[in-house]
Structure 1
Amino acid sequence: MQAASQRPAGKFAFELFVAVAVIGLVCALGPWWAVYEFNPDEGFNLQKAVLVSQGHALYSEIWSDQPPLLTYWLAVVHDLFPFSVVAARATVLLFAAVLAVSLFRVVARFEGLFAAAVSVILLASSSLFLELGVSVMIGLPAVTLALVAIDVATSGTPRSRAFHAAAAGGVFALALLTKMFVFIMVPAVLVALWFGVPRQVSNSMRATALSLVLFLIFAASVMAVVLAMLGLSAEQLVGTHLAARQSDEFAGIGGFRDLFSLLRHGALIPHWFVVLFGLAAFWVRPRSPLLIPMLWLVSGVAVLGFHRPLWNHQALILVPPLCWLGAAGFKSLFVPGERLGFAEMLLEKSGPRMRMSALAGVMVLIGVIAAHAVREVRHVRELFSSGPSIAEAAAQTRLALYDRGAGSLIVDHPIDAYYLHRGVPANLAVWSAKRVAIGQMPEAEVLEDIKAHPGSPVLLRRHSFTQGFLNRVADHVPAVAVSTQRYGGPDIHFFAPAGPASDLETRLLAQLPAVVAGSMGGVAGPNAGERLARPQSMNVLPDRSVVARPPGSAQELGACLVAASRIAQSRRLFLEAAGVGNALACVQTRNGGWAEHASTMAGCTGNVGHASADEVETLDDGTMPSILYFSFDLADRFGELSLDKPAWLTGMIERALSFSVQSQLADGSWPQTIGGNRYHKLATLNDDTMTGMIRVLLVGYQRYHDPAYLAAARRGGDFLLRAQHKAGQTGFAQQYAESLEIEPARKFEPPAFSSLETGYAINALIDLHLVTGDKRFLVAAEAAADWLRSSQIAPETWARLYEVGINRPVYADRSGAVTYRLEDLSVSEQRSYRWIGGREVFPEIGVALDRMDKLRLGTKNLRDHDATVAAASLLAATPTARLPLTAAGGMAVADDLGSTRGFAVYCAGLVASAMQADAAVQDGTDP
């Protein structure tokens, strides 16, 4: 029988390298420290540690169905690094490094350094190991301690066998006191003790028996001492798991099929190494130390295969023996004395053709394994790089907004409170699905805890609750309902004490549920409950649609809710505004843009960039700029309230700005629609498309200082310089071909210069000049303004379109017939398009000319003027979505609020009235 080998020279250097390599690999895969939660058990373990640190007793005060050791360990970490998820995860990462080193040591002891290195590589290829290596969960530390016990049991010299056996017993007791599922490894540990006694030792059977006795005595002694000090509840520790096994809720979670599925998904490469090499190696050497990992696997599969419920973190216990056995089998391919039969035949008895075929097969196998390894790495990288989900961020926002220093928070995701440096009631630290399912946490008991903590916010987002229970909670703590929440993720039931509501808050919240009941954006359809994207549309929107194209878009609603929350200092209105942001994040496309509208019926539980069903992004009518301006304002409001900006919001903004750069055409322009055809793919100034993109990118550059945004805006400005006509008509057209020829769009929009689009261009050129200092943009803006002044058809009146070369107004009907007299069009066609008007019809012309006049007086005059214009409306820089802040808008009544646009105007009117009232109070003129 093979004995433990001697320690190779310089082995410590290899072990140190293994530890550093594992830690380095995990850190290189992504910011695991920034992941909100890997598993709900993280919150349970962290909150138990907080409570123990505060002096609460485990089991008697703190319910727990797990052994106590890791809880006390984490309590020490909490004392050193209070409320630090990073410190707790780093502690587990150290256990992961020890696990890798122990595996390396044991495999090297019996199989050599090559097999040991392969075993660690296989371990590092397991996504189960990598994920649980930084999760604040008890499984990996327990397996680590159990493997350390095997390492200790099989190391040392004949003289130190007794000491090592006793030490192994003590360490294995600590493993059991961390998580009891390591009892699976008892047969493997006992066999390891057998192999730990060199066969050349006289009376080796007696020495082995002595080792076993010492191991058992010290294991029992350490457990007895620790339990006497820390205590334990057999009912919670054992009874809970037995009851869960009988629960119908978990009947379908487990079984051998599920177990092997977990291994295939979380440890695929070690799994196949065992199938291909490890089992054959054990067949060749059944009495070798390979019996240790084989017994480990067999007992583990036998126990876990019948366990209910079965979770992925429990399957981790089978990963180290898979790596051990697979590495030993792989090594056997190259060792003549141990070589597997088929390898022996191929390498020594086959001809060149068979060897080449075998080599080709090996190369294919290596390719398959490499592909799986890449997939595993990609999965872990995505996991480690995922910020808080929309639901997690919403939970943090609500709790932080309403937390007024309460001692404990009532949450069914305990980690939600931990991130706010708050504890939870001792009885609620482990609010697990298992405990709920077996009836050990009835709603009445939860309600008693809520009553015992008056004034504490209550946030429920994990479990299902009866409406009766929610009503009883609301009897003690007022419910904080958020109407816009239905678009941005799973249900969150939130309750918190609230002060008196202002008139503005009351009036808006009374109407808002009806406005967002069918879709967020759009107008009421012809039938009850139906919503249309636009008045002229006949297509009914699917339920829970989010309309991104103005007018009547979600961002118009959101912009006014932000302003209303600011003037009324309303937390409720702020949460509604954040809900609008959630909804827009949910329908943002993979590229970072938005379709005209998209439904969130499929749910939105992940991070920013949830792909919409319709991948055709639009820039029409200021879709992108208006969403970004709203998002900027929402982000500022988070800052004003001293709240962390959520990952979904910062991510949405970053993706949108990146999309704005990437969607720019090679000539520096932007089309109306990404991937569109006909005139939709042309360089488009119509409805402020590309000029709006230039201006919002300049704002993005000023906020975030990314030179890519400025470079894209400059390229857009350079396009305008090239497109501007130089022969007397220094205006701009609605759309251009690649050759810069003016192109028609809809049949009633012939090739022509446009007064309105020239106004858009002037504003963009002025902004470019202000940000870059480039006078070319100023010269072009002045020339365009001169053309506007010379093209008036009456004082302060312009036609929309002017014929190229002649500069006389031109009109067209829906058939495409062009005329020079507006009267030639039918009355309906005269009214269906802005053909003629002054500043009230073409406000951007007036804005552009006024800005030019102010700029001639100096930059400060212009900036003061711009500030005044911006303060007069919401979304001031987006003409199609702009909401004037006039008190008259607030005179609407409920029956007039059938559209999102109508409600946004009503909201802006109420905001304007509130602003005027505040100004009167400050001026001392309020009666």
Structure 2
Amino acid sequence: MRSIFRAATAILLFTCLSATSSFAADSAPTAADVLAAMKKAATYYHDKVAVHGGYVYFYSPDLTQRYGEGVASAEQIWVQPPGTPTVGMAYLEAYHATSDAFYLRAATETAEALIYGQLKSGGWTNCIDFDPRGERAALYRNGKGRGKNNSSLDDDQTQSAIRFLVRIDKAYDFQNKAIHEAAMTALDTLLTAQFANGAFPQSWEEPVDQSLPVRQASFPKYDWKTEGRVKNYWDMYTLNDGLAGSVAPVLVEAHQTYGDDRYLAALKKLGDFLILAQLPSPQPAWAQQYNYEMNPIWARRFEPAAVAGRESQDVIETLLLIFDVTRDEKYLEPIPTAVKYLESSLLPDGQLARYYELESNRPLYMNRNGKDYFLTYDDKDLPDHYGWKTSQKLERLKDEYRKLVSSPKSTRGRRKVSADQVKPILASLDDQGRWITTFKNEKLVGDQRFRPGDQFISSETFAKNIEALSGYLRTAH
């Protein structure tokens, strides 16, 4: 479940290495400066970095080493952000900002890579393996794969692929048959993965059971520490790793793009589930995972049944989005009590614990003795493979709540990109068209250990920079 992207960004300091731009440091970059840098960077990424039109997270500067959620083979690309859809969306932003057909062609090749790896179940897993006998090959719709058929909503995998395909489908005015079919298939199967109460599972192979009763969340009546564990937690109601906050924008964008009210209905159902999933006092927030009885449950060995600080903030953000779209005040009702509870649960350092013990509300952690995990209230010397604490953004959430309540229509929109934001992006592009970044600290990410001073090319950095430059062209010229 843990995203390599989140783990990496927590310990990286992106360092600019070389400058080739000719613009004066005290003047605003011109459109010509920006257009030239974008084309240089995108040409390098498209011509030198892509494999079958797709991408992974990190590359060594000489491109001999590739990393997704671990080491990637020469035939593998990654779906999970910041992989292939992330880069594809950056190409699309560049196309819309410049009308240069090069970027649309690059985005189209990226879409074709995703279409190759679309599963028979309609969604995606985190990796696409173009070797039919490769270790990460799955049961693709094109018949060229084998093995598992688990469409995943973990870590924004299927969601990011759908958002990109929907956007490029629109760019083609829905006339590219392969892209349109893939987008429609993915959206149709996503709807079949929504339970009657509005929840989604972490993954699916076939439509979910629609006969399950709709219940309000409650604390388990059994000893959750020793009872009630289920192996197939991924089939049940899931909020883990920001699932609600990544599924909701898919439904919003699908409804806005295609005008199909099924997507708006699914968005409202998701909001209804989030209302149901709020636990009662004294902990009016949300868990990572629920069983069909709507009790918090365990997931992996180090993910206990508990109130979850990070997921609770994600739910609040999602409810704000759903209210912004629907203007139905019922989606705001859970928020004030949830925010008040989270504020009262802040740790001494101002962060939120990932987990709070059910009913007692004590910050709860997991440690291990060898391979065996055990519950603990002690936050010292915790395993470093998981985020046991999370930054709190409660003031921002309260501010957004106030703005939405006071505004009769949506206040969301594109943020302007300033010259001061663009200058370091242009200055750090090297003579080959690369943005090289450097690890600040040693860290194990997936199964790959990066050390201080290790340099790499980052798909996240490429995409953010291209999108920023595109935004500057739209807002400044």
Label 1:849 to 1:900 Cα distance change in 2 as closer, same or farther (>3 A).
farther
1:513 paired with 2:62, answer: no
What residue in structure 1 maps to residue 377 of structure 2? Answer: 820
For residues 805 and 592 of structure 1, what CA distance do their matches in structure 2 show?
Answer: 39
Question: Would the aligned equivalents of 2:125 and 2:152 in 1 still touch at CA under 8 Å?
Answer: yes
Match of 1:563 in 2: 93
How far apart are the structure 2 equivalents of 1:695 and 1:715? 14
Describe the shift of the 1:561–1:914 C-alpha distance in structure 2 as closer, same or farther (beyond 3 A).
closer
Q: CA RMSD in A?
A: 3.4
Match of 2:305 among 734, 742, 751: 751
Task: Determine whether 1:533 maps to 2:63.
Answer: no
Which residue pairs with 1:392 in the alignment?
A: none
1:725–1:731: 8 Å Cα contact kept in structure 2? yes
In 2, Cα distance between the equivalents of 1:904 and 1:744?
32
CA shift at 1:911, angstroms? 4.0
Q: Taking structure 1 as reference, are residues 530 and 916 closer, same or farther at Cα in structure 2, changes over 3 Å only?
A: closer
Q: 1:737-771 deviations in whole A, cap 9, x for unaligned? A: 11111112222222111121112111222233333
Gaps in structure 2 of 5+ consecutive residues: 1-34, 133-139, 207-230, 438-453
- Per the TM alignment, residue 664 of structure 1 is displaced from its structure 2 partner at its CA by 1.8
Name the amino acid aligned to 2:339.
Answer: A
2:181 maps to: 651
1:851 alignment counterpart: 400
Q: Does 1:832 align with 2:385?
A: yes
- Say whether residues 1:591 and 2:121 are aligned partners: yes
Letter in 2 for 1:503: A
Query: SS in structure 2 opposite 1:502?
Result: helix
Deviations 1:613-633, CA, capped at 9 Å, x for gaps: 342211111122222222233
- Checking the alignment, whether the CA contact within 8 Å between 1:525 and 1:532 is kept in structure 2 is yes
TM-fit CA distance, 1:675: 4.7
SS of structure 1 residue aligned to 2:194? coil
SS at 2:361 equivalent: coil
Mapped to 2, the partners of 1:652 and 1:716 lie a distance apart of 23
Could you say if the C-alpha distance between residues 525 and 721 of structure 1 is closer, same or farther in structure 2, counting changes exceeding 3 Å? same
Which SS does the other structure have where 2:77 is aligned?
strand
Partner residue of 1:389? none
Q: Which residue of 2 aligns with 1:547?
A: 78
Note the C-alpha offset of 1:731.
Answer: 0.7
Task: Return the letter of the residue paired with 1:787.
Answer: Y
Distance 2:329 2:127 in 1: 40
Asked whether the equivalents of residues 170 and 257 of structure 2 are also in contact (C-alpha less than 8 Å), the reply is no
CA distance 1:741–1:714, change in 2 (3 Å): same
Find the aligned partners of 1:916 and 1:698 in 2 and give their Cα distance: 26
Aligned equivalents of 1:803, 1:912: Cα separation in 2: 42
CA distance in 1, matches of 2:205, 2:121: 12
1:817 match: secondary structure: strand
Q: C-alpha deviations, 1:873-898, integer Å up to 9, x for none?
A: xxxxxxxxxxxx87656636548379
Partner of 1:622: 156
CA distance in 2, matches of 1:895, 1:855: 38
Q: Residue 166 of structure 2 is aligned with which of 607, 632, 644?
A: 632
One-letter identity of the residue aligned with 1:512: H
Distance 1:800 1:901 in 2: 31
8 Å CA contact 1:671, 1:689 repeated in 2: no
Tell me if structure 1 keeps the 8 A contact 2:435–2:461: no
Asked whether the 8 Å contact 2:252–2:263 carries over to 1, the reply is yes
1:767 aligned to 2:303?
no
Q: 1:524 offset after TM fit, Å?
A: 5.6
CA shift digits 1:644-700 (9 cap, x unpaired) = 631122212211111110112344321112259533222111112244223422332
AA paired with 2:377? Answer: Y
Q: Distance in 2 between matches of 1:729 and 1:821?
A: 21
SS across alignment from 2:413? helix
Match of 2:459 among 903, 906, 918: 903
Contact 2:91-2:104 at 8 Å conserved across structures:
yes
Q: 1:682 aligns with which of 224, 230, 236?
A: 236
CA distance in 2 between counterparts of 1:914 and 1:711 reads: 33
Distance 1:774 1:511 in 2: 44
- Give the alignment of 1:99-178 within 5 angstroms: none
Letter of the 1:522 partner, please give it. Answer: V
1:457-493 CA-partner distances (Å, limit 9, x unpaired): xxxxxxxxxxxxxxxxxxxxxxxxxxxxxxxxxxxxx
Mapped to 1, the partners of 2:95 and 2:333 lie a distance apart of 42
Shift of 1:589: 1.8
Q: Counterpart amino acid of 2:321? A: D
Partner residue in 2 for 1:867: 413
CA-CA distance at 1:525 after TM superposition: 7.9
Which structure shows the higher strand fraction? Answer: 2
> What are structure 1's unaligned runs of at least 5 residues?
1-500, 603-607, 873-884, 923-927
Q: Secondary structure at the match of 2:363?
A: coil
TM-score of the superposed pair, with normalisation by structure 2: 0.71
Please point out which of 294, 310, 318 is paired with 1:740.
294
How much does 1:595 deviate? 2.1
**What's the CA shift for 1:720?**
1.8
State the secondary structure of the residue aligned to 2:269.
helix
How much has 1:504 moved relative to structure 2?
Answer: 1.4
1:913–1:703: structure 2 CA closer, same or farther, 3 Å change rule? Answer: closer
Q: Once the two structures are superposed, what CA deviation does each residue of 1:545-582 show, in whole Å capped at 9, x if it has no partner?
A: 332222x3210110111112233432212210111111
CA distance in 2, matches of 1:514, 1:728: 55
Distance change >3 Å, CA 738–CA 914, structure 1 → 2: closer
CA distance in 2: counterparts of 1:559 and 1:729, whole angstroms: 39
Go from structure 1 to structure 2 and tell me whether the alpha carbon gap of 1:889 and 1:610 turns closer, same or farther (over 3 Å shift).
farther
Compared with structure 1, are the counterparts of its residues 887 and 618 closer, same or farther at alpha carbon in structure 2 (3 Å cutoff)?
Answer: farther
By how many angstroms is 1:910 displaced? 4.3
The percent of aligned pairs where both chains have the same amino acid is 22
Question: How far off is 1:807 after superposition?
Answer: 1.9
Give TM-score scaled by structure 1 length: 0.38
Q: How does 1:564-583 map to 2 (within 5 A)?
A: 564-583=94-113
Where do residues 81-96 of structure 1 align in structure 2 (5 Å cutoff)? none
Contact 2:353 2:390 in 1 (8 A): yes
Report matched runs for 1:17-36 at 5 Å: none
**Does structure 1 conserve the Cα–Cα contact (< 8 Å) formed by 2:155 and 2:242?**
yes
Counterpart in the other structure of 1:730: 284
Q: Could you tell me how far 1:515 is from its partner in structure 2?
A: 1.7
Correspondence 1:601-620 to 2 at 5 A: 601=131, 610-611=142-143, 612-613=145-146, 614-620=148-154
**Post-superposition CA distance 1:853-892 (Å, at most 9, x none):** 32232243xx22x3256x67xxxxxxxxxxxx87656636
Report if the CA contact (8 A) 1:515-1:899 is conserved: no
What are the Cα deviations for residues 130-178 of structure 1, in whole angstroms up to 9, with x where unaligned?
A: xxxxxxxxxxxxxxxxxxxxxxxxxxxxxxxxxxxxxxxxxxxxxxxxx
C-alpha distance in 2 between matches for 1:849 and 1:609: 44
Would you tell me which structure has more helix in proportion to its own residues? 1
Q: Secondary structure at the match of 1:546?
A: strand
User: Counterparts of 1:616 and 1:591 in 2: how far apart (Å)?
Assistant: 7
CA contact (8 A) 1:889 1:905 kept: no
Task: Give yes or no for contact 1:791–1:798 (8 Å, CA) kept in 2.
Answer: yes
Instruction: List aligned pairs for 1:398-437, cutoff 5 A.
Output: none
Shift of 1:520: 2.2
Higher RCO (CA < 8 A, seq sep 6+): 2
**Structure 1 residues 892, 838: CA separation in 2 closer, same or farther (over 3 Å shift)?**
farther
Instruction: Return closer, same or farther for 1:777/1:577 CA change in 2, 3 Å cut-off.
Output: same
When residues 837 and 713 of structure 1 are mapped into structure 2, their CA distance, relative to the original with a 3 A threshold, is closer
The residue aligned with 1:700 is: 254
Counting matched residue pairs gives 385
